[in-house]
Structure 1
Amino acid sequence: MSDNVNHPSHYETGKFECIEVMMETQGVEAVAAFCVCNAFKYLYRHKNKNELEDIKKAVWYLKKFIELEEGTNDNQ
């Protein structure tokens, strides 16, 4: 069963998720900035698209930002 918030299947290729490849190719600072922008996008559109799911996605990206800033490796 696909988890559209934590591990969306459309962001996976083989054994890597897109955000992992972004980390490897773009670096922590760029991915942290992306996370903030993506969280904003999901919050901005939530009433017009997926409502609660978009709020959950925004929270996921904000948690990922915190993880990157704190240098932790919590993939939740």
Structure 2
Amino acid sequence: MKTGVMFMSRKRNGGRNMDPINSPKHYKMHKMETIDNIQNSMTHDEFVGYLKGNIKKYLDRYGDKNGIEDLGKAEWYLKKLIEVEAK
């Protein structure tokens, strides 16, 4: 699930492009994506609350911390919430 916000790639780790919103490397270190592991450890209602909390966190802090990047993260969690609720 990619966000509609376009981000400049960050070059790290020997010049490889990194996407801090859709594919952060530190969340892909294991066989299962971290978000899937979190979802599997919660009830539906708990996971919905988790997603809503992250949406609020990134919206509340975007003006003071990471700007557009945080809006993109809020968008990612909102799209995930829509996906989960549509099932």
> TM > 0.5 between the two?
yes
Count how many residue pairs are aligned between Structure 1 and Structure 2. Answer: 71
- Partner residue of 2:80? 64
Q: Specify every segment of 5 or more residues in structure 2 that has no aligned partner in the other structure, as ranges.
A: 1-16
Offset of residue 9 of structure 1: 1.5
Q: Equivalent residue for 2:67?
A: 51
Q: Which has the larger helix fraction?
A: 1
Q: Secondary structure at the match of 1:7?
A: coil
| Identical counterparts, % of pairs | 38
Matched, 1:28 2:44: yes
Aligned-pair CA distance for 1:35: 0.8
Select the structure of larger CA radius of gyration: 2
**Which ranges in structure 1 are unaligned for 5 or more consecutive residues?**
72-76
1:15 maps to what in 2? Answer: 31
Pairwise CA RMSD: 1.3
Q: Distance in 2 between matches of 1:2 and 1:24?
A: 26
Normalising to structure 1: TM-score of the pair?
A: 0.82
